[in-house]
Amino acid sequence: MPKARMIPYAPRHVPDEPAERVAARFYDVMRLRRSVRMFSDRPVPRGVIEALVRTAGSAPSGANKQPWRFVCVGDPALKREIRLGAEAEEREFYQRRAGERWLADLEPLGTDDDKSFLEVAPWLVVVFKLVRDDDGSQVYYPEESVGLAVGMLLAAAQHAGLATLTHTPSPMRFLAGLLGRPDHERPYLLIPVGYPADGCVVPEAATRRKPLEQVMVVHP
């Protein structure tokens, strides 16, 4: 007999419309998500960011270890330091580290080493992956777990009408130093969160998606 204490699965989310319609409506929200690099400085209340992080933290994780930390930075001076650190890494990336092929792949996105949006967006959510739990115990599938949590954070932001960018200045070690994070936390992603700027534009190439037949295989 399993020793785990079991409880009823209640309350449950039961939509009041057929799943076809509800799923299609969610897709209609999510397909309008864009990776945004032009943010408005319009404030976003801290409570909204807390709700996004709670949503992310509701993700499944290996042995429910929740191997993540979401460091939310609204302080202008700290945002500036993060921008300067990211731009230093990115200059190195664009001038030296990225090979020709990588630069060619990025060309349609129009990215460069200017990361001024990191100062404009009201919040930077710096996501860390825990390679051990805070009590030193083992974690399982941390890469997958944090990826799942971040996906849910992006969906929650989109649902709330907020824009995000999954930014990976690489290497990201400077973030752990700037934010004073302990050794068992590894930088995973830097996510600016805010409203898109008036007149925000996005690269057309990034809006294209593979057709369903190419990404889905069905065994009827």
Identify the H or E element spanning 178: helix 173-178
Beta carbon nearer to ligand IYR, 169 or 196: 169
Beta carbon nearer to ligand IYR, 152 or 170: 170
- Tell me the residue nearest to ligand IYR as measured from the CB: 111
CB of 36 to ligand IYR, least distance (A): 13
b/e map 89-108, b = 16+ CB within 10 Å = bbeebeeeebeeeeeeeeee
Phi, psi dihedral angles at 103 (to 5 degrees): -60, -40
Beta carbon nearer to ligand IYR, 59 or 190: 190
CA-CA-CA-CA torsion sign (110, 115, 120, 126): positive
Strand order through the sheet with 123-130: 68-73, 123-130, 185-194, 163-164
CB of 111 to ligand IYR, least distance (A): 4
DSSP 109: G
Contact positions toward ligand IYR, by CB under 6 A? 90, 93, 106, 109, 111, 167-170
The answer for residues whose C-beta is within 8 angstroms of residue 70's C-beta and 6 or more apart is 53, 56, 57, 125, 126, 127, 128, 153
User: What's the rounded Cα separation, in Å, for the pair 164 and 157?
Assistant: 7
Beta carbon nearer to ligand IYR, 15 or 108: 108
Q: Are 162 and 195 in contact (CB under 8 A)?
A: yes
Beta carbon nearer to ligand IYR, 39 or 93: 93
Which residues, in sequence order, are bridge partners of residue 192?
124
CB of 46 to ligand IYR, least distance (A): 26
CB of 88 to ligand IYR, least distance (A): 12
CB of 3 to ligand IYR, least distance (A): 45
Beta carbon nearer to ligand IYR, 67 or 192: 192
